A and B are shown apart, each in its own frame.
Chain A
Amino acid sequence: MDKFMFGRFIPGNSWVHRMDPRAKLVLCFLYIAVVFFANDFWTYLVMTLLLLVSVFATKIPLGVFIRGLMPLFWLMIFTVLIQVFFGVGGHVYWHWGWLVLSQNGINSAGLILMRFVLIILISTILTFATQPLEIADGIESLLSPLRKLHFPVATLALMLSLALRFVPTLMDEAEKIMNAQRSRGVDFGEGGLRQRIKTIVPILIPLFVNAFNRAIDISTAMEARGYQDGENRTKYRQLKWQRIDTISFAVYAVCLGGVIALRYLS
C-alpha cells in the first residue's frame, strides 16, 4: 500500500493547485469526453500536448505521474493484447489459427492504449493537485442545481466529505489491525483461496465494529455541536472563481474545440 500513488493528494502551490475545484472537475470531465472524439495523429497530438502542459503546470515531477500508472500496467497490457489479436480487417501481417495480427487490430490497440493513458493521467492531475475536501465541495457546488428536483445535495455532500475524511483514518486502522493480527500469527496473502478468505475475518470484524462505534461517536459529537440537518447552513470554505480558472478554461476550450473541429472538418 506504501507505493500506491493513484488518487492521492500531493501538497503544493502550483497553478493547478490554486485553481477552483469546480473548474478542475469540469475541465477533467470535458477532457475525458473529448478523448473519445480524438481519432487520428493530429487530434491525439493536441490532446497529449494539452495534457503535458497541465502536468507541468502542477510542478509535480513527471516520474510521479508515471508511477501512478504502474498499478494499471497489467490491465493496459491485457487490453492492448486483446485488441491486437482479435481486431479484424485491414492488411493482415501474420496469422496463426484464430490469432490474427492485422493493421486494424494494431491501430485500435494503439488508440485504446492512448485513451487509457490520457484518461488516467488527467484524473491523476485532478487528484494529485486537489485536496479531497475541495473535490467534495466542488461536487456539491456542481450538483446544487439538483436541489430543484428535491435531490438531497447537502446530505450527499456531508456524507461525501465525511467519507473522504475517514478514508485515511480507516486505512491506518486497517493497517494497525493487520499488524496486530500478524503479530498473533496470521499470514495474510498466503495459502489457498479458502485460507485467504479466512484471514480476512480477523480484519473485517474489528474494522466494522470500530466503524460502528466511530459513527455513534461522531453523530453524538455533531449533535452536541448543534448540527441539525444539511439545509440552511453557511459555509466556511467559500469557492471562488479566479482569473486562472478563466484562463485555463479558455486554453482548454481552444484545444478541445480544436480537436472536435479537426475530427469533423477534415
Chain B
Amino acid sequence: MATDITFEQVNYWYQSGTPFAVQALKDINLAIQPGSFTAVIGQTGSGKSTLIQHLNALLKPTSGQVKVGEQIIDHETKNKHLKPLRKKVGIVFQFPENQLFEETVIKDIAFGPQNFGMDEAQATKLAGQIAGLVGLDASLLNRSPFDLSGGQMRRVAIAGVLALEPEVLVLDEPTAGLDPRGRLDVMNLVTKLQRQQHLTIVLITHQMDDVANYADQVLVMANGELAKQGTPREIFSDSDWLTSHQLGLPSATKFAVKLEQVGFSFDPMPLTEDELADQLAPQLSKGGSDHG
C-alpha cells in the first residue's frame, strides 16, 4: 500500500489568536512520492521543523489540508483518529537521545510497538532485530540507555522509531552533533532502509553533500514559504540564488565551480565526488596530451 503525501494550501500559525501569533507556514503545496527520498533544506527558522510535524499531525494546519495516504488532516481533525497515522509516519526528532527514558535499551526500543498494541514478548523480539539493524551490539541491550555514549544513545532513539515499522521515516537533522564516522553510519542506515524496506524518507539537513548524494527531491524553505522544489540538480544549478538564501553548494560542486574559473568545463555541473571524478578524468588526460 503506497503512502503518498500531499500538502494543499497549508498555512500554519503558532499561537493563533494571541498577540504572539506567528505564521510559520505560508501556502505550502507539495507532493512526496512513495519510496522517494526528499531532503528539506533552508535557513534556521524557515519552517522546516514545523513542516515535518504536519506529516504525522503533531501540528494540524490552521488552513488547508495535508493528505497522508488515505488520511486527510485539516483544522478539524480530531486527535482520536491519529494513532494509525502515527504508526505509518515515524519521526526522529532533533537530538532524539533526549527522549529515552526506560530502564534498559531493549525496553526503550520496544516501548513504541507496545503503545500500538503489540504484546511484550513480540515487541522485545522486534526490538532485538531493530537494534541489530542500527548496529547496536547485543551486549548493550540490557544496559541503561543513560550509560551509553552520545552516538549509541542516538542509535537507540532511532531504533525506537524504526521499531514502529513506519512506511514514512522523517528525520530532523539526524547527524547533528555526531562525529564523521557516526554521520556516515546514520546516512548509510537511512539509505539502506530506503532501498531494502522501500521506506519513504524525508530528511531535514544542513549538509548539502548529503542532499546531493542521497535525495531525489529537494524542498527549499525560506521564511515559511516553499521557495523552490525540484531535483538536486535543478536546485544546485543556480548557485547565486542559493547564496542569496544563505544556502551553500555541495563540496564537489563548489570545487567544480572553482575549476571552471581556471579553464575546465563541466556539463552538467557535478553534484557528487563520483560525478566530478568522471568528468574530470577525460579532461585531465586530454590536458596532459595537449601539453605532452
Which residues from chain A sit less than 8 Å from chain B, CB to CB?
2-3, 5, 10, 60-61, 64, 67, 173, 176-177, 179-187, 201-202, 205-206, 209-210
A184 touches B98 (CB 8 A): no
Distance of A261 Cα from B16 Cα, bound (Å): 46
Tell me if B116 counts as interface (CB < 8 A to partner A).
Answer: yes
B93 touches A202 (CB 8 A): no
Distance of A201 Cα from B164 Cα, bound (Å): 20
Interface residue ranges of B22-36 to A (CB < 8 Å):
none
Give the top 9 A-B pairs by smallest Cβ distance, nearest first: A185-B115, A205-B101, A180-B99, A184-B112, A183-B91, A2-B15, A185-B116, A180-B93, A202-B101
Query: Of all chain A residues, which has the CB nearest B117?
Result: A185
B161 to chain A: which residues have CB within 8 Å?
183-184
* Contact flag A3-B18 (CB < 8 Å), given A183-B56, A187-B83: yes
CB distance from B3 to the nearest CB of A (A): 16
B15 touches A184 (CB 8 A): no
A185 touches B58 (CB 8 A): no
B101 touches A184 (CB 8 A): no
A67 to chain B: which residues have CB within 8 Å?
18
B86 touches A183 (CB 8 A): yes
Tell me if B146 counts as interface (CB < 8 A to partner A).
Answer: yes
Which residues from chain B sit less than 8 Å from chain A, CB to CB?
14-19, 53, 56, 58, 79, 83, 86-87, 90-91, 93-94, 96, 98-101, 111-112, 115-116, 146, 160-161, 164
Distance of A185 Cα from B83 Cα, bound (Å): 7
B18 touches A206 (CB 8 A): no
A179 touches B58 (CB 8 A): yes
Distance of A177 Cα from B157 Cα, bound (Å): 12
B99 to chain A: which residues have CB within 8 Å?
177, 180-181, 184, 202, 206
10 extra interface residue pairs, beta carbon distance < 8 Å, beyond A64-B19, A180-B91, A185-B86: A2-B14, A61-B19, A64-B18, A67-B18, A179-B58, A180-B96, A184-B99, A184-B115, A185-B112, A202-B99
Distance of A210 Cα from B14 Cα, bound (Å): 26
Distance of A88 Cα from B5 Cα, bound (Å): 65
A179 touches B116 (CB 8 A): no
CB distance from A4 to the nearest CB of B (A): 9
Of B58, B101, B146, the contact of A183 (CB 8 Å cutoff): B58
CB distance from B122 to the nearest CB of A (A): 15
A176 touches B93 (CB 8 A): yes
Distance of A61 Cα from B19 Cα, bound (Å): 9
A sample of 30 cross-chain residue pairs with beta-carbon separation below 8 angstroms, ordered by A number, consists of: A2-B16, A2-B18, A3-B15, A3-B17, A64-B19, A173-B98, A176-B94, A177-B99, A179-B53, A180-B91, A180-B93, A181-B99, A182-B58, A182-B86, A183-B90, A183-B91, A183-B93, A183-B161, A184-B99, A184-B115, A184-B160, A185-B86, A185-B112, A185-B116, A185-B164, A187-B79, A202-B99, A206-B98, A206-B101, A209-B101
